[in-house]
Amino acid sequence: MANGPRMGYYFLMKIWIKLLVGSALGIVLGFIAPENQRFMEVLAWLEQFVLRVGRYALVPVLFFSLSIGIFELRKDGRFWPMVLKNVLLIATISAVVITVGVLATLAFSPARIPIMAVEQLELTRFDVAGSVMELFPFNMFSALVGEGVFLLPFYVFAFFLGMGLSYDKTYSKPVIALVDSLSRIFFHIASFFIEILGFMMIVLSAYWAISLREALRMEVFNELFVMLGIMAAVLGFAVLPLFVYLLRPKSNPWAVLYGSLGPAIAAFFSGDVNFSLPVLLRHAKESFGVKRRSAVFTLAMFSTFCRAGSAMVAASAFIVIFNSYSSIGITAAEIAAVSLHAFVISFILARHPGSGAYAALAILCLGFGRGFEEGYLILRPVAFYLIAVGTFLDVMIASVANYAIARQGGFVEEKSVRQYI
């Protein structure tokens, strides 16, 4: 009975406080953990287990919520305007974030990284043709039996189901009620896992802290750490709130920032967009008051096609590598080429929810060529940090854009900050 009140207090805590406390405990554990191979093997296993638990209910809640959301948007005649708003905002944000990151890297470039011998385990390949083929398997239901890493096939199926629900109300009414009920049921199930996420963050942040401890010992990456950290803080806590401030009708940017803290913490230490999506969905509904039809559609679009944060980190890291290993430095034409490559890559990272920035860097190196095809291997010891910063920005952008689109479209039922979860 003694543990009852304590557990009650835990479940009454704000989500972001649970995540912050769990992350802080994990960081402390990571820095005091023994350098023991067995311990690391257990922790690595626990990290993968926690990521699976965090994403366990994601596919059902996304599939049924997106299906009913598309149906409702189409019924209101707002589906295609919603698509257009998302596409324009994704393109604009991606261009701005990548440009800001590239310019900041050129202005405050860290010291050269010394030449290091690295072992090439395997080349990272990006099979665009194969990814497109997966969108339309021979059997439509095959899209529902994937592992939940590449979510675009689920979205395509949900799109056709949502469109099909409008076919004939006489026949579709029972199905609409069923899909709506399943959406709410699985949202409730996903909410349970979010409530215990604070405990899971201990494992994720401990594993992250051990990786940081090892990287700091090398010292050569410290300036890169600082530069990317400052860039992420400025973009996440200054530029994005400024964007909200400029919205019409007027919004409180600090309330939006406060409501995004939970997803941001989950994103940073997990490095996984899919892991953070259930947290984003719940905060969109219970903190920002965004209606389901808008929230699920925008978050699906942004988590799939707007990985601007990861692409920006990759572009910055590539410029650092280029300046470290080129005797003449990077030219204006090469800067433009890198920025354009990164811009395109930001739209095609859906296959890499848990390795965004490092996968983008690998694709950038391979696509750019000119002797830098294996350049991404130089930063393999700090891949965890690149991924963390990139995912943090991806999720912050998705959270702010979700609120912005919903508010301008009248899909928000305003809540006071006191009501935020």
Q: List the chain residues with pLDDT less than 50.
A: 1-2, 9, 123
Identity of residue 195:
E
pLDDT at 2 (0 to 100): 46
Per residue in 336-381, pLDDT tens?
999 999 999 999 999 899 988 999 999 898 877 666 777 788 889 9
Nearest to 410 by CA among 168, 73, 18, 19: 73
- For the question of whether the overall pTM of this predicted structure is more than 0.85, the answer is yes
Contact 275, 51 (CB under 8 A): yes
What distances in angstroms separate CA 368 from CA 322, 374, 381, one per listed residue?
11, 11, 22
What distances in angstroms separate CA 136 from CA 63, 65, 124, 144, 154, one per listed residue?
16, 21, 24, 12, 10
pLDDT at 115 (0 to 100): 65
Q: Structural domain boundaries of the chain?
A: 13-419
CA distance 98 to 236: 13
pLDDT at 1 (0 to 100): 41
- Take residue 277 and report the two structure tokens written for it: 């999506």
**CATH architecture label of 13-419:** Orthogonal Bundle (1.10)
Residue 352 CA from chain centroid, whole number: 10
Contact 224, 382 (CB under 8 A): yes
Contact 403, 294 (CB under 8 A): no
Per residue in 212-265, pLDDT tens?
999 998 888 999 999 999 999 999 999 999 988 888 778 889 999 999 999 999
Q: Which residue has the tokens 């130089």?
A: 378
Backbone angles phi and psi of 305, in degrees to 5: -110, -10
What distances in angstroms separate CA 141 from CA 58, 69, 153, 297, 417, one per listed residue?
17, 20, 10, 21, 42
Q: Measure the CA angle with vertex 132, ends 129 and 134; round to 5°.
A: 110
pLDDT at 9 (0 to 100): 47
